[in-house]
Structure 1
């Protein structure tokens, strides 16, 4: 493709590799050849190229990493440091392209269509931006594509994806790339990727070929988002409703702000105010523009994009990162500080979704461990327990067993977390993942096309092909549903008493002895897990 040919929806992403380690090295005034690692919960979450050369890897424990590279500097993870030091990098980019969206510290995107026409092509635009950032002492890679996710992935490999070529580029990428960028995925994306690997799906292209109906019925909502990304379909659209004008917060600073601590305090208050206004209209913000205006009229604006809704804490953090990096002037070579104190601070949500569309994770920031969030949740549960009684608050812990209900043991808060059955023991016939989202124990009738009951033979087969299920409702007529699909049965025990280890009788049609499970898809798109025992069926779970 000629360099001057562009598409109107092209996106250019700039990615700074190992940004937490880079920011820590800049903050400690260490040279680029000095090994450094960033730790969270005593494990390496980022390290520099010299540290990787010495054998340090993400996920290593501190002692193991220091053993591999004794001369390495070790620092704690600090989101505020990452955001503050990234602000001068964003400022360098905005000197050339005024419209910039920050996905997280270390990663930003710009619309490439108009800018590439000004610079004479996408390649020239990318070279200019990379050279400008590199001149400030930061390593950076660029990538261009039609869609945001593809552009971010291309930036990690320094690729220029041709217009219309996103799907072809993604098809050969490993399935793990769906979870490689946390700012564009839910915290559960890693679990989805691991499950897909176990199912034999090793590339994004193979996942893209799956039916969206199968993905939606078998996996969670984030899997549907991942499937759209795999097919290079347009990302999450803005809400169809017009943004209420009163969502915009514009605060006149009196007195004007020229200190970082004052800016952080005000940012926290405005973040809480914005959260209150969003809650009043049942909305959540996923793209936010933060603009500061000085007394002399100088403007400083950044747009932040998030995969998950911005919480008050996340909003306050982004305000702090942006203003701290601007007020302190960053490092040598970065753009100048503000010409006068900040007189106006403005928060403008530019993309909102319904509050129920996206959900907040229980853990903080999608990290595997967050002691502060865990402690706040624990204190809340203790208060509820004090009001309702000791057994009123119970925590689920993994347990051993074959059925979905048996794989969870409920333990009262404060008691020792001992499972009823060893989860590490072998459990032949155990129900594979994913498990049902809702557990039930509701009798149901499985019928064939003539209305006769369908049972399971001693050899583990249906006595007839199931076509309908029906259920008795208290005070109502029996309800029936046609089956769109079914799988099974899978025998897992004999004798009708518990989940014994056998896999079916070797002779006869002893239907009264067999125990089995089956899955069915109803004509209303619900998927059920059924259990057969003592010549009757029950709904054991509902997939959502």
Structure 2
């Protein structure tokens, strides 16, 4: 039997807002978790952000921060280990799993052990509920039922039977099962095993074992020595940033080593050896492939949690870190993805590993990706996000009154350059309240470029942003200008001053 202890809505609780404030934690444009007050207004998990906002106009949106969730959940895990069960696994922030046999014997039975877990978490200040079943998959579903469910031995298959096949989390297989009329785990379990093998292959057989409650994965705090990786420090390291930096490269090394052996891991033990002969360990589990990026994210949060909790004394070199070790557990054969030969596109796994390797060498912000969102100016529409970070919430695409149409500038300056747009008398051209130029522009000067005669212009296009807030309101007007030097510029005027925002090549 396996016990799961769950703190509901942990991503929301980690934000630290009052219960009456409707909060939604978002990632990738979807709601990951929401508060009880938001659910009362119709907000649900996996709902698109725009739909959630339409149902709750005062909904507070917070981008998900897994590192923050890990750091804040560490005191709960530590308290459970001290007062309830000595060995457990963290599936994700807010959810832990453990073997039920030991706690049930010690506390006088499974119901008493579950009650003790809830009590310990309540002492830390959070609500919790407990579920139990013969497999981790079933236990993770049982804990999410109202008040948690303790599934008796031998009843796991009947408990799983009414759940839809979508809970398997296997997208392609799930779609195929539903297309042929297999809607629930009970339907899947009832099919002949030979037919499953012939029609759906090894993944179908594995899914049927899960539906039958036969997928037993023991909960263990032991890792595999053969494939562990470590980084040792010549002098005891006390800087948290240096430890986090080392963890990024270490996670990539671990996955490279496992990949060479044709393996993937579901659990990883993170261990820190200290100069005072102490060691700190934490076991993280992930159902499925624990990618290098996901692992580095968890290690980052774990190291910072130990530092903030006082386990790492960052002020005393004698108590610094001498080694950081990652030990994989729960190894299985890699099904793998077929990569392209002869110059084809790289697989997502290869791209992820390459990005993690560069970040380990040059820093977290060395590899970024661009996200296009809302905005009026060309520099406002693109956001750079460090690879692996949660994407920023997308702004709506429109309407955006005042946005410039295509063609778009070839170069957008990170910081606008000071400019002068002059008329025939040598005075600065002004834009009136009716959005009319005071005189035809004759000459344009831009910082770092030679002044040139204006050969044509278009505009101005006015933009008034944040008019409802006196402190943040912004009023500008943009003008497109061509010059005799062969350049075309996008300039804007704000508070009587001209700036070159971009040029068209």
Question: Does the TM-score normalized on the shorter chain lie above 0.5?
Answer: yes
* Aligned partners of 2:24 and 2:62 also within 8 Å: yes
* Aligned partners of 2:270 and 2:283 also within 8 Å: yes
Q: 1:279: which partner in 2? A: 259
- SS of alignment partner, residue 296 of structure 1: coil
Change beyond 3 A, Cα 1:237–1:297: closer
* Mapped pair 1:34 → 2:14: no
CA distance in 1, matches of 2:368, 2:206: 28
Match of 2:79 among 86, 89, 92: 92
* Mapped pair 1:48 → 2:38: no
* Mapped pair 1:268 → 2:248: yes
* Aligned partners of 1:174 and 1:204 also within 8 Å: yes
CA distance in 2, matches of 1:137, 1:230: 36
Q: 1:15: which partner in 2? A: 6
Equivalenced residues, count: 338
* Aligned partners of 1:88 and 1:326 also within 8 Å: no
CA distance in 2, matches of 1:208, 1:131: 37
Q: 2:65: which partner in 1? A: 78
- SS of alignment partner, residue 156 of structure 1: coil
* Mapped pair 1:65 → 2:55: no
Alignment of 1:495-514 (within 5 A): none
Alignment of 1:333-348 (within 5 A): 336-338=310-312, 340-348=319-327
* Mapped pair 1:159 → 2:149: yes
Between 51-60 and 336-345, report the one with greater CA deviation.
336-345
CA distance in 1, matches of 2:78, 2:68: 16
- Cα displacement string for residues 439-462 of structure 1 (whole angstroms, at most 9, x for unaligned residues): xxxxxxxxxxxxxxxxxxxxxxxx
CA distance in 1, matches of 2:120, 2:78: 11
CA distance in 1, matches of 2:337, 2:194: 20
Change beyond 3 A, Cα 1:264–1:307: same
* Mapped pair 1:328 → 2:316: no
Shift of 1:289: 1.1
Q: 1:228: which partner in 2? A: 209
- Cα displacement string for residues 272-331 of structure 1 (whole angstroms, at most 9, x for unaligned residues): 2222332343332222111123223333211122233333222222211211222122xx
* Aligned partners of 2:231 and 2:246 also within 8 Å: no
Shift of 1:348: 1.4
Shift of 1:21: 2.2
* Aligned partners of 2:11 and 2:25 also within 8 Å: yes
* Aligned partners of 1:287 and 1:350 also within 8 Å: yes
Match of 2:177 among 184, 189, 196: 196
* Mapped pair 1:123 → 2:104: no
* Aligned partners of 1:259 and 1:327 also within 8 Å: no
- Cα displacement string for residues 214-261 of structure 1 (whole angstroms, at most 9, x for unaligned residues): 2233235433322111001134689xxxx9744223433333333432
Alignment of 1:109-188 (within 5 A): 109-157=97-145, 158-171=148-161, 173-176=162-165, 178-179=167-168, 185=169
Query: Normalising to structure 1: TM-score of the pair?
Result: 0.56
Query: What's the C-alpha RMSD, in Å, of the aligned pairs?
Result: 3.1
CA distance in 1, matches of 2:111, 2:218: 28
* Aligned partners of 2:224 and 2:329 also within 8 Å: no
Change beyond 3 A, Cα 1:41–1:312: closer
Q: 2:443: which partner in 1? A: none
Shift of 1:265: 0.4
Q: 1:292: which partner in 2? A: 272
Change beyond 3 A, Cα 1:48–1:190: farther
CA distance in 2, matches of 1:374, 1:146: 43
Alignment of 1:419-458 (within 5 A): none
Shift of 1:111: 0.8
Shift of 1:62: 2.8
* Aligned partners of 2:186 and 2:211 also within 8 Å: yes
- Cα displacement string for residues 482-524 of structure 1 (whole angstroms, at most 9, x for unaligned residues): xxxxxxxxxxxxxxxxxxxxxxxxxxxxxxxxxxxxxxxxxxx
Change beyond 3 A, Cα 1:288–1:126: same
Between 118-127 and 344-353, report the one with greater CA deviation.
344-353
Q: 1:207: which partner in 2? A: 188
- SS of alignment partner, residue 182 of structure 2: coil
* Aligned partners of 1:175 and 1:193 also within 8 Å: no
* Aligned partners of 2:224 and 2:327 also within 8 Å: no
* Aligned partners of 1:363 and 1:374 also within 8 Å: no
- Unaligned runs of at least 5 residues, structure 2: 314-318, 340-345, 350-364, 371-505
Match of 1:312 among 279, 287, 292: 292
- SS of alignment partner, residue 143 of structure 2: helix
Shift of 1:362: 5.8
Change beyond 3 A, Cα 1:292–1:56: same
Query: Normalising to structure 2: TM-score of the pair?
Result: 0.60
- SS of alignment partner, residue 258 of structure 2: helix
Shift of 1:191: 4.5
Shift of 1:152: 1.0
